Amino acid sequence: MHLFPFIRLVSACLVAIIIAMGIGRAFAAGDNAKAGTPAIAAAVSVESEGAKTRFKVTLSKAVTAQVSLMERPDRVIIDLPEVAFHLPGDAGRSKEGLIASYRYGLFAPGRSRVVMELTQPALVSGMTTTPDATGAATILTIELSRAERDEFRKAALENSASMKEASAPITPETKDARPVIMIDPGHGGIDPGAAAGSGNVMEKELVLSFAQRLKKKLEEGGRYKIVMTRDQDVFVSLGDRVRAARVAQADLFISVHADSISGGQEVRGLTVYTGSERASDADSARLADRENKADAVAGVESGDMPDDVSDILMELTLRETRGFSHNFASRLVGEFDSVARLNKNPHRQARFQVLRAHDVPSVLVELGYLSSQKDLDLLMSEEWRAKMVSAMSVAVDRFFAARLARRGTAAVLP
């Protein structure tokens, strides 16, 4: 009797279902997202049987789930209100039936998401909820069934038409008289970024704590207004990061990362990237490609980038802005040089989506590589972090001092 009616999806596949049975109280759709503490996901399992695969998650309370499909790569996305995932570290890493792997995490404030990568096209053929053996928790079951490519594509296309912009809106602010610096800790929420130490160290956490430290340091003198694209473990799309910088009318955008690289332990050191249509080298092009996939990792349509440079004025502004970005990158490298081990070629360029605001000087700092044990040790060291943050704040001071001096003689600011 607690079984939710079985849902057969023929072509439509954006399904919002209220899963509130068995608790004796029905939530209206969306209600639960606001209701008190988040549900806890305490266990998860994947079972396959013939052409069907069932994904089961045990939740401490009923939630509203919404399922959608995306192609290239083939994915099933489950949107939920905020859920605290208390799952084993290796959950989602091994392939079972139609599910190649899955990720989970906070997608936006108050919203969580599970993204499953499929081994082949599949449709959601059922979504049910049942109480667990104790009756205290709810088991949400998503059933997938093998489908033809055409069928899957059609369903995914219908989704993308109805889903559009999924991330949180950004509220415009009034411009501070002081220079505004936007710090952008890479990745977050459902997108963990690179990992080291068998998943114990995640790029998203490391760069967030570094960014918080940098914010504090830059705020010390009271000379700058510091804003962050995220200050918690939440997913922010690349487009929203760029938009946030533009809405805040940032004078400088600093994205912070610590990725992995193939090439072994010997590839290490700090690198500063600026945006460019042409990459300075093959490694940088590969890194930018990987970073630009962050939206796909979280199940967000890419291609929703603001600032496609469409006219000559924007083109001119972009050229000038890139000059400022280069200038800041050189200052950063100059300051880092005395305190950090730098990559062979410490200032590189590539087509990073997050560096595309045409009117905000932007750099991306790779603090080091998680794939190098030596870099990892440094990244985890408080002393090293303090030195890096100080070097960055000196570079910021010099950059703005030079700009203000120039501003005194000519209006050259974009």
> Which stretches of the chain bind Zn ion, using CB under 5 A?
186, 193, 257, 259
Nearer of residues 246 and 257 to Zn ion, judged by Cβ: 257
Cα–Cα distance between 379 and 368 in angstroms, integer? Answer: 7
Other beta carbons within 10 Å of 42: 15
Between 186 and 346, name the residue whose CB sits nearer to Zn ion. Answer: 186
CA gap 11, 177 in Å, rounded: 53
- Residue 245 or 287 with smaller CB distance to Zn ion: 287
Minimal distance, residue 364 CB to Zn ion, in Å: 8
Q: How far is the CB of 256 from Zn ion (least distance, A)?
A: 9
Distances (CA, A) of 377 to 254, 278, 374: 23, 33, 5
Interhelix angle 382-409/312-337, nearest 10 degrees: 130
Question: Please, which residues have CB within 8 angstroms of residue 120's CB and are 6 or more apart in sequence?
Answer: 74, 98, 146
How far is it, in rounded angstroms, from Cα 112 to Cα 191?
Answer: 12
* Least distance to Zn ion, CB of residue 204, Å: 8
**Shortest spacing between CB 367 and Zn ion, in angstroms:** 10
Q: Letter for the amino acid at 114? A: V
Of the candidates 331, 333, 335, 355, which has an alpha carbon nearest to the alpha carbon of residue 343?
Answer: 333
Angle at 320 between CA 223 and CA 351, to 5 degrees: 95
* Torsion of the alpha carbons at 322, 325, 331 and 335, rounded to the nearest 10: -140
| Closer residue to Zn ion, CB minimum distance, 291 or 359 | 291
Q: Quick one: 75 or 257, whose CB is closer to Zn ion?
A: 257
- CB of residue 258 to Zn ion, shortest distance in Å: 7
Residue 360: CB partners within 8 Å, gap ≥ 6?
A: 182, 245, 246, 250, 251, 252, 253, 321
In the bound state, the residue with its beta carbon closest to Zn ion is 257
Nearer Cβ to Zn ion (259/375): 259
Q: Least distance in Å: CB of 319 to Zn ion? A: 27
Number of H helices, E strands in the chain: 9, 18
Task: Indicate the residue among 288 and 357 with the shorter CB distance to Zn ion.
Answer: 288
Q: Least distance (Å) from Zn ion to the CB of residue 193?
A: 4
